[in-house]
Amino acid sequence: MAHAAVHIPVAFIASIHSFTSFCLTVFVVFAAFEAANTDNAFSARHTATVSVAAARDLRYLLYDVNPPEGFNLRRDVYIRMASLVKTLRKDGDDWVLVLPPWGRLYHWQSPNIHQIRIPWGEFFSLTSLQANVPVIEYEEFIAEWFPTGGEEQQDQNPCVAEHP
């Protein structure tokens, strides 16, 4: 009698497992069918529009460099990113490169000069940069996408103890 009681829970668990597998299979088949019917699942047109820029199908490429990087490396990264945007625009998509603000550089040792969020226009002619690919300053991007100002948030964590 006790021997028969052991088989009932095992059979019940096996049937639940089979039902779960069946439901998962049906879900995967329908998901694959839906993905096959979608022309481009990763297109910006499938995102929610939140501003006039999004309604124009503009796409923005934001980038940054490591904070201690020097002036020349930052300029070189811009050249690479501009080249990428130029390549992306060849497909007919409307890409705009967002220029990250300049921050404090180690070799700029002048404490009396403002060195936080310096716009690219302080160093380069934006008109000249625009001749190659469309660019905007980071602050312009924020003003366009968050017209009410939004709220900037940063996570600041204490330094980890020194390694042994």
pLDDT digits (tens, 9 = 90+) for 117-154: 788 888 888 899 899 999 999 989 988 877 776 676 77
| Nearest to 141, CA basis, from 100, 86, 92 | 100
Task: Look up 152 and say whether it is catalytic.
Answer: no
Query: What is the predicted pLDDT for the residue at 117?
Result: 79
Looking at 3.40.50.620, 3.40.50.300, 3.40.50.11340, 1.10.579.10, the CATH number of the domain 49-145 comes to 3.40.50.11340
More confident residue, 27 or 48: 27
Residue 93 has pLDDT above 90, yes or no: no
Mean pLDDT in residue range 14-43: 51
| Residue found under tokens 């995102």 | 47
Burial status of residue 81 (CB atoms within 10 A of its CB: 0-12, 13-18, 19 or more): buried
Q: How far apart are CA 155 and CA 37, in angstroms?
A: 41
**Residues 6+ positions from 54 with CB-CB distance below 8 Å:** 44, 47, 48
Q: Reduced to 3 states, what is the DSSP secondary structure of residue 38? A: coil
For residue 114, give both structure tokens: 């403002």
In the beta sheet, which residues pair with residue 136?
Answer: 98
Give the C-alpha distances (Å, rounded to integers) separating 46 from 38, 57, 145. 10, 10, 18
| pLDDT tier for residue 48 given thresholds of 50, 70 and 90 | very low
Task: Tell me what the mean pLDDT of segment 9-33 comes to.
Answer: 52
Widest CA span in the chain: 90
Q: List the catalytic residue out of 69, 137, 140, 144.
A: 69
- How far apart are alpha carbons 78 and 99 in whole angstroms? 8
